[in-house]
Structure 1
Amino acid sequence: MATAKTRRRRWLGWLWRLALCFVVATVLQVLVLRFIDPPFTAFMAARQFEALGEGDFGFRIAYDSRDLEDISPYVPLAVIASEDQNFATHNGFDFKAIEKARAHNERAEERARKRNRPVARIRGASTISQQLAKNLFLWKGQGVTRWARKGLEVWYTVLIETLWPKRRIIEVYVNTVEFGNGVYGAQAAARTYFRKDAKSLSAAEAARMAAVLPNPRRYSIARPGPYVQRRSNAIQRQMRYMGGPAFLQRID
Structure 2
Amino acid sequence: MVRLILRIVKLAVIAFVALSLFGVILFKYVNPPFTWLMVIRGFERKADGKDWKIDKKWVDFDEIADPMKRAAVAAEDQSFLENHGFDFRAIEKAIEKNSKSKKLIGGSTITQQTAKNVFLWPGRSLLRKGFEAWFTILIETFWTKKRIMEIYLNVIEMGDGIYGIEAASQAYFNTPAAKLTVRQSAAIAVIFPSPRKWSATKPTTYLKHRQYLIRKNMRRLGPLEF
Give the TM-score range, shorter chain. Answer: over 0.9
Q: Are residues 1:100 and 2:79 paired?
A: no
Deviation at 1:147, TM superposition (A): 2.2
Equivalent pairs: percent with the same residue?
39
Deviation at 1:10, TM superposition (A): 2.7
- Name 1:148's counterpart in structure 2: 127
Distance in 1 separating the partners of 2:192 and 2:123: 19
Contact 2:43 2:52 in 1 (8 A): no
- Name 2:81's counterpart in structure 1: 88
Distance in 2 separating the partners of 1:105 and 1:147: 16
Q: Which runs of 5+ in 2 are unaligned?
A: none
3-state SS in 2 of match to 1:92: coil
Deviation at 1:14, TM superposition (A): 2.1
Bigger Rg, which one = 1
From 50, 54, 79, the counterpart of 2:72: 79
- Name 1:33's counterpart in structure 2: 27
Contact 2:186 2:215 in 1 (8 A): yes
Deviation at 1:15, TM superposition (A): 1.7
| 1:195-228 superposed Cα distances (whole Å, 9 cap, x missing partner) | 1100000011000000112111121112111111
Distance in 1 separating the partners of 2:27 and 2:83: 21
Q: Which runs of 5+ in 1 are unaligned?
A: 1-6, 110-118
Amino acid of the residue matched to residue 35 of structure 1? Y
- Aligned residue pair count: 226
Amino acid of the residue matched to residue 45 of structure 1? V
From 45, 52, 64, the counterpart of 2:57: 64
Deviation at 1:132, TM superposition (A): 1.0
3-state SS in 2 of match to 1:179: strand
- Name 1:122's counterpart in structure 2: 104
3-state SS in 2 of match to 1:93: coil
Deviation at 1:40, TM superposition (A): 0.7
Deviation at 1:68, TM superposition (A): 0.8
TM-score by length of 1: 0.86
From 16, 21, 32, the counterpart of 2:15: 21
Deviation at 1:59, TM superposition (A): 2.9
3-state SS in 1 of match to 2:94: helix
Deviation at 1:42, TM superposition (A): 1.3
Report 1:113-192 matches (<5 A): 119=102, 121-141=103-123, 146-192=125-171
3-state SS in 2 of match to 1:154: helix
Deviation at 1:8, TM superposition (A): 2.6
3-state SS in 2 of match to 1:81: helix
Deviation at 1:91, TM superposition (A): 1.0
Distance in 2 separating the partners of 1:189 and 1:100: 30
Distance in 2 separating the partners of 1:33 and 1:69: 18
3-state SS in 1 of match to 2:188: helix
3-state SS in 2 of match to 1:222: coil
Distance in 2 separating the partners of 1:215 and 1:242: 24
Distance in 2 separating the partners of 1:128 and 1:150: 14
**RMSD, aligned α-carbons:** 1.3
Distance in 2 separating the partners of 1:102 and 1:12: 35
Q: Are residues 1:44 and 2:38 paired?
A: yes
Amino acid of the residue matched to residue 198 of structure 2? Y
